[in-house]
Amino acid sequence: MDMSWQTTFALACAAVFAAVVPGTLGYTTARLETADRQRAELARLRVEVQASQQTVQRLSESCAPGENTSLGSPSAPPSRSGSSGSSGSSDSPDGEHLP
């Protein structure tokens, strides 16, 4: 069986082509699918960051100076109730005994 060098070359090229093309297509398809997944993940993370920023902004606006907070006003100390002062206990914050 005598084959010419052109036939041998053509068969070798066809074999290489048959191996390279599907491999390249598979690689390219996998890369594109990965890029699509990463793009979707990036969009999800952007939405999450924006939601976090909006939450922080709302919380910081609710804690703005000059507004009433649930902690009470810092200028008025909490009052003590139910202490008569005759028991000799310390009723003032600095530890003095009141009569």
Model pTM score: 0.47
**What is the mean predicted confidence (pLDDT) over 52-58?**
92
pLDDT value of position 95? 55
The DSSP annotation for the chain comes to ----HHHHHHHHHHHHHHHHHHHHHHHHHHHHHHHHHHHHHHHHHHHHHHHHHHHHHHHHHHT-TTS--TT--TTSPPPP-S--STT--B-STT-PBP-
Average confidence (pLDDT) over 60-88: 59
Q: Which of the two residues, 96 and 44, has the higher pLDDT score? A: 44
Q: Compare 78 and 28 and report the one with higher pLDDT.
A: 28
